[in-house]
Structure 1
Amino acid sequence: MTIDRRRFIQASAAALAAAAGAAPAFGQAPPETARIILGFAPGGTIDLTGRRVADKLQPSYAKAVVVENRTGAGGQIAAQAVRTAAPDGATVLLTPTSPMSLHLFTYKKLPYDPAADFTPVSGAAMFDYSLAVGPMVPSSVRSVQEFLAWCKANPNNANFGSAGQGSAAHFIGAALGRMSGTDLRHVAFRGSQPALADMIGGQLAAVVGPTGEFMSNVKAGKVRLLATSGPRRGRFTPDTPTMAEQGFKELAYIGWFGFFLPAQAPADVVQRLNGGIRQALASQDVVDSLATAYMEPLPTAPAQLAQMLKTETEFWSRLVKTLGFSPE
């Protein structure tokens, strides 16, 4: 995940957002209710993204658009629910990339085929991940290297949480442990917010998750950010050094969410949903809302999202092989 790729995503998103007002109109009557299904607990960044877009999709795309949180298996339960739904546009998947790319290499068998069982519609938002620590870790620990040294000196407390087994956040933390020769134990949660609660409560040393998940507690002094994952310092966190700056260039990574329909979704439904999502992501109130969660909108054409997913899969394939991870 390189700087060039980040610029490509940003430039493409800007161009498509500018064209969002020209979304095509279709004669098909909107369904009564559409569901946006996501695989993580309420209150996190993906939940915020889904609910803000859902508000904008009604009544033009559907008379009512609701968000359903189907938690578990790092997003796989939500993906499976959409895979088996009718391809009529009434059931939409909003997912981070890991269930559609990384899980191919960290699980022996998935209950779906990411390429064959879904129809790409549009990107949603992009963001950096962060490594954050809570009150269990002494306040003197201010860098990744100092955290790893503390973990080696306190092996019983050397742990980190993430939004789920096999998630990108899980893999970033696990890779950090392997690269540094530190035994970092992973604790899986059904979303970043439950992990954050345990960290603030002193039961967990650290959490890896989207940067926006931490910031209200960072401002309140309950949590400290040690590093972000982007190839350069984030737009919203210019004072926080990256993993790459601190010696872990292989972990330069930008996360994103995307919208998908079941396979065989009609082309006119895909286009209508894509147009609605692009219009939503171009709305200033949605842009501002995403910014409060330290995210940027990522509208794309369906074909562009398919290409991004292909590139993402290749990225994880190389990194998993380099680090010697075996499917579970």
Structure 2
Amino acid sequence: MDKQRRQWLAQAAALGGGAALTSWGVRAQGDYPARPLRLVVPYPAGGGTDTVARLIGQKLSQNWGQPVVVDNKPGASGMLGNDIVAKAAPDGYTVLLGITAMIQSPGLYKKIPYNVERDFAPVSLVARSSDLFVVPNRVPARTLAEFVALAKASPGKLSYGSYGNGTSAHLHGEQLKMRAGIDLVHIPYKGAAPLVSDVLGGQVDSAFVDVTSANAYVTSGKFRVLAITGTQRHKALPAVPTFAEAGFAGFEPNGWFAFFLPAGAPRDVSSRLSAEIVRITRLPDVSQRLADMGLQPVGSTPEELAAVVATDTPKWARIVRDAHIQLD
């Protein structure tokens, strides 16, 4: 682990302690929040990230008596919104709801306008997500092993769809090709909705679909789920194995939704925001809503989020490097 990553973990641990002054010299604010919060979502309205942001933001507003304004800033694979928060005043009033792409982008793009571990303060990991590997009913495979056998029998003939170049789905698809020794044609879609539509219509031979987009259909019988990324099975699909259980290691890193502040935010502000997000995430109605989206509710401390970022960043970078994926 490099020096900067160790320092970031140490700073996150300090945030969890709730000290009165930051090591970066920003004075704490005991009356926080004294005005509205801006919650930046680096993706369009209506998507999973937006839904999570509005769910948590509404509860924050209700409890704190201050408006939480969700500000959708899509563009450049989330980097536009991320950069807005990275360069915002570190006063606790500009908050980011980020996703896994934050730590995948540095391996995919030569130039990133920020450094995740230098420019952001971790607050709380709200929920974990997974990708489902699915096939339409016309494909005869009923297990991952059977699909691999089909692909090996017809190299370069079968396709896999992803919800975009450089997404987790793309990385998982290339990883499956490497791990299984199969040749699949990658078909990138512009988002999960058209991908799911084509899976339902049988226009693509297989796909990695994020669980929030596929959740409404997982028990419909309209396609088959052969495996799930991450470390846990889907509650609605207890018979579907994880990739590790199916004999393919390396698919363990989960997707996630997490809150960040600009680096240098006062420690008591970060600690208060983190504690409130943890409390909200564990409310029965919020926890159930996240579960209904196919997510695993978490609610973590800043240091727990920092550890996830520090652990998973090199894993994603290794997949990108080994698969020779470059987007610019």
Q: TM-score, normalised by structure 2?
A: 0.79
State which of 34, 37, 57 in structure 2 corresponds to 1:54: 57
Selected match of 1:34 from 25, 34, 38: 38
SS in 2 for 1:81: helix
Which deviations, in whole Å up to 9, do the C-alpha atoms of 1:107-164 show, x marking residues without a partner?
Answer: 22222111111111111101332112235xx1522222333444563846513112x3
2:97 to 94, 99, 106: 94
Equivalent of 1:130, from 117, 129, 132?
Answer: 132
In the other structure, the counterpart of 2:20 is none
Amino acid at match of 2:159: A
Match of 2:170 in 1: 170
Instruction: Say whether the 8 Å CA contact 2:159–2:187 is kept in structure 1.
Output: no
2:151 paired with 1:161: no
Distance change (3 Å), C-alpha of 1:33 and 1:317: closer
Q: 1:72 Cα shift?
A: 3.9
One-letter code of the match for 1:121? V
Q: Is the 8 A contact 1:42 1:69 kept in 2?
A: no
Structure 2 equivalent of residue 109 of structure 1? 111
Question: Does 2:73 correspond to 1:74?
Answer: no
Relative to 1, partners in 2 of residues 1:29 and 1:307: Cα closer, same or farther, differing over 3 Å?
closer
Matched pairs, number: 299
CA shift in 2, pair 1:295/1:232, >3 Å: closer
Q: Which residue of 2 aligns with 1:217?
A: 217
Residues 175, 323 of structure 2: 8 Å contact kept? no
Q: Distance in 1 between matches of 2:231 and 2:155?
A: 30
Q: Deviations over 1:191-239 (max 9, x none)?
A: 4234323433444333323324212112233232111113453444311
Q: Secondary structure at the match of 2:246?
A: coil
Q: Distance in 2 between matches of 1:231 and 1:154?
A: 29
Q: Distance in 2 between matches of 1:70 and 1:85?
A: 14
Provide the aligned C-alpha RMSD in A. 2.8
Stretch of structure 1 that moved more, 202-211 or 213-222: 202-211
Residue 288 of structure 1 aligns to a residue whose secondary structure is helix
Measure, in 2, the Cα distance between the counterparts of 1:305 and 1:170.
24
2:127–2:257 CA contact under 8 A, matched in 1: yes
- SS of structure 2 residue aligned to 1:58: helix
In structure 1, distance between residues paired with 2:30 and 2:203: 53
Aligned to 2:66: 63
Deviation at 1:61, TM superposition (A): 4.3
**What are the superposed Cα offsets for residues 219-275 of structure 1, whole Å, 9 maximum, x if unpaired?**
233232111113453444311022123331222332222111122223233223212
Runs of 5+ unmatched residues, structure 1: 1-15, 17-24
Q: Is residue 192 from structure 1 mapped to residue 192 from structure 2 by the alignment? A: yes
> Is 1:61–1:272's contact at 8 Å kept on the other side of the alignment?
no
Residues 62 and 188 of structure 1, relative CA distance in 2, 3 Å threshold: farther
SS at match of 1:42: coil
8 A Cα contact 1:129 1:210, kept in partner = yes
Shift of 1:40: 5.4
1:5 maps to which residue? none
- Identity score, percent: 34
- Any idea what SS the aligned residue of 1:245 has? coil
Does the Cα contact within 8 Å between 1:61 and 1:276 map onto a contact in 2?
Answer: no
User: Does the 8 A contact of 2:123 with 2:270 survive in 1?
Assistant: yes
Per the alignment, residue 205 of structure 1 pairs with 205
2:233–2:240 CA contact under 8 A, matched in 1? yes
Residue 37 of structure 1 contacts residue 82 of structure 1 at CA under 8 Å; is this kept in 2? no
User: Deviation at 1:288?
Assistant: 0.9
Structure with greater Cα Rg: 2
**Conserved? CA contact 1:38–1:67, under 8 Å:** no
Matched residues in 2 for 1:123 and 1:203: separation? 36
Give the Cα–Cα distance (whole angstroms) in 2 for the partners of residues 148 and 193 of structure 1: 26
Contact 2:42 2:98 in 1 (8 A): yes
Question: Cα deviations across residues 70-112 of structure 1 (Å, max 9, x unaligned)?
Answer: 334433233123223333333222122232x222223222221
TM-score by length of 1: 0.79
1:8 counterpart residue number = none
